[in-house]
Amino acid sequence: PPLRCTPSLEAPQGPLVDFLTSGHGYDDRSVATAVALANEHFEKRELARAIDFYGTAYEIGRLHFDYKPLMHDLVIRRVICFSMLGDLQKALQETELALRVVPNSATAYLYRGLVHSKLGAADEANHSFHLAVAQCREMRDYIDSLVAFLMLAQGHCDRAIQVCSHVLAREPSFPFALLVRGDAYKFHPSGYFTRQAADDYTLLLDRDMSLQPLIGDLMTPWQHNRFDELLLRFHPRLLWEGPRPYEEYPMCGFYRRRRPFLVAAFVLLAAARLKAGVRSTQLVRSVEERNEELLHARAEAERKVRQLVETQQKLAALESSSMSEVWGPAELEHTRVRKYRRYWMERPLGFPKRCRPGDADAEGEPEDAEGGGAPSPPAS
């Protein structure tokens, strides 16, 4: 269940005591200082020191001002550090804590799947990856490429190539998929895909030259650090949107001023827009499907009508040709006379009939204006 109050970390309190005794306290400035020091150590990949300072910021922040997004980001950074160091059980434990601080976090699901993959729990990893994609659809290509990279590390080159090809069919220039597929082609056991590997590497470098150091490095399942480095390198936000001071979180000021109704209104507005967007998308899809069905039915009806008209025309032509033929002799008693066709008495097909005198009166045509057909005025 979600936590009402963020719990304490099960970690040694020595770094926290040292930080507090150096002149810091339970305030915004101390939290910002601890976060800045932790980020600095993380950029230098001094992971043990980064874990201590992230834990210090977490412990001070949860007692000073328990802002859940900051607490979540701090725990996620500790998970990354533990994963890089190979302490997978501790990393898995803190991913569960991150999911309790902010339930259904796509980033926490992503790292839980990665840690399960490192531990060899394929079913749990796939379940976590599916949950991450369900929470954030834009991470689908990224997670598929990560799964292909994990397969490549285990030696399944064909499967990695297949997964990356599906990703590139959706996004032709996705860099993570190009890198993984290029490595899979290069290290394929058959050795026949060097040209395809060169093509993928060329497209990758055309997109980003800074990725050149990552090309052509064979991966093994025990290189925990490289898994996390690639995950951070290709994740759309994780590397640049790490823990930061309170004031840099957009909604922290509203939350701190104790305006829960405004925050709830923003949440309801976002949910209403999302619901309206989903409904409009479903409606547009249903209208498009119905339109396609109607167009198909119309085309089928036009085809049938066209066939019917052609059949009627052929039948009328056949009947007209058979009725317009005149054969002789005129008297049937002349049995010795051979039958012959009397062309001079036939009327060509579609030829108008000749009007005889008096036919116009019989058909009700108007007479001359000066004749008796027009009504006369009354006598005066």
The per-residue pLDDT for range 78-110, each reduced to its tens digit, is 999 999 998 999 999 999 999 999 899 999 999
Which tops the pLDDT comparison, 260 or 25? 25
Q: At what angle do helices 140-153 and 106-119 cross, to 10 degrees?
A: 10
**Better pLDDT: 297 or 155:** 297
Residues 71, 86 within the same domain: yes
Average pLDDT value for residue range 6-12: 83
Residue 201 lies in a domain: no
Among 8, 125, 123, CA closest to 74: 8
For residues 306 and 252, membership in a common domain is answered with no
Domain with residue 85: its CATH number is 1.25.40.10
Q: Tell me, yes or no, whether 251 lies in a domain.
A: yes
Give the span between the Cα atoms of 176 and 208, in whole angstroms: 11
pTM of the predicted structure, to 2 decimals: 0.64
Mean pLDDT for all residues in the chain: 83
Q: Which of 217-221, 273-277, 347-351 has the lowest mean pLDDT?
A: 347-351
pLDDT tens digits, one per residue of 31-76: 999 999 999 999 999 999 999 999 999 999 988 888 889 999 999 9
In this structure, the answer to whether residues 250 and 305 fall within a common structural domain is: no
Q: Sorting pLDDT into bands at 50, 70 and 90, what band is 380?
A: very low
Q: Are residues 99 and 248 in the same domain?
A: yes
pLDDT at 267 over 60: yes
- Identify whether residues 248 and 307 lie together within a single domain: no
pLDDT over 80 (residue 345): no
Considering the domain architecture, whether residues 252 and 264 belong to the same structural domain is answered as: no
* Total domain count, the chain: 2
**Which residue, 350, 351, 246, 210, is CA-closest to 33?**
246
Q: Residue 278: inside a domain, yes or no?
A: yes
In a domain, 231, yes or no: no
Structure tokens at 23: 């002149």
How many Å apart are CA 229 and CA 61, to the nearest integer? Answer: 28
pLDDT at 115 over 90: yes
Kindly indicate the confidence band of residue 368, based on its pLDDT and cuts at 50, 70 and 90.
Answer: very low
Q: Does a structural domain hold residue 146?
A: no
Same domain, 46 and 17: yes
Same domain, 297 and 251: no
Per-residue model confidence (pLDDT) at position 51: 93
For residues 38 and 87, state if they share a domain: yes
Instruction: State the pLDDT at residue 73.
Output: 93
The whole-angstrom distance between residue 262's C-alpha and the CA centroid of its chain comes to 32
Does 333 reside within a domain?
no
Q: Which residues contact 326 (CB under 8 A, 6 or more apart)?
A: 341, 342, 343, 345, 346
Give 239 or 289, the one with higher predicted confidence: 289
% the chain with pLDDT above 90? 38
Instruction: List Cβ neighbours of 329 (8 Å cut-off, separation of 6 or more).
Output: 337, 339, 340
Position 380 in a domain: no
Q: Is residue 318 part of a domain?
A: no
Are 253 and 280 in the same domain?
A: no
Question: Which residue, 293, 311, 329, sits at the end of a domain?
Answer: 311
Same domain, 250 and 274: no
Q: State how far the Cα of 40 lies from the Cα of 276, in Å rounded to an integer.
A: 43
Given this model, what pLDDT does residue 366 score?
A: 46
Domain span including residue 286: 260-311
Given pLDDT bands bounded at 50, 70 and 90, which one contains residue 194? confident
